[in-house]
Amino acid sequence: MKPTQDIQSLTTFRANVASFVDQVRETRRPLVLTQHGKSVAVLLGAAEYEALVEELEVLRDISTSERQLAAGRWVAHEEVKAHLLEIVRRRSSE
């Protein structure tokens, strides 16, 4: 992050929306918007936002899996493999 480029007041942002959107798209860095000297919003490119959401979903899945393992709620690999192979066999014989 480059504070002189990546932190802007809401007033400056309003006056230069298009150029700031271009900046975010080109640099792939977020733009922090301030009001009365305090951070109030962040402008983020669509691809960077999607990547953050995907990463968050993976981290949540990992956390859920860890809780399930700790609680003893798991299925052995061989059991899952056998079950999936049986489903494939049934479907291929239809």
Query: How many alpha carbons lie under 13 Å from residue 19 in its C-beta half-sphere?
Result: 8
Amino acid at 50: E
Best CA proximity match to 51, nearest among 66, 67, 30:
30
At residue 27, the pLDDT reads 95
- Mean pLDDT along residues 18-32: 95
- Identify the band that residue 3 occupies on the pLDDT scale cut at 50, 70 and 90: low
The pLDDT tens digits for 37-61 are 999 999 999 999 999 999 999 999 9
Vertex 4 angle, CA 3 and 6, to 5°: 55
The pLDDT tens digits for 70-88 are 999 999 999 999 999 999 9
Q: What domains, with CATH codes, occur in the chain?
A: 3-44 (3.40.1620), 48-92 (no CATH)
57-94: buried (b, 16+ CB within 10 Å) or exposed (e) per residue?
A: eeeeeeeeeeeeeeeeeeeeeeeeeeeeeeeeeeeeee
Distance of CA 42 to the CA centre of its chain: 15
For residue 18, how many other CB atoms are within 10 A of its CB? 7
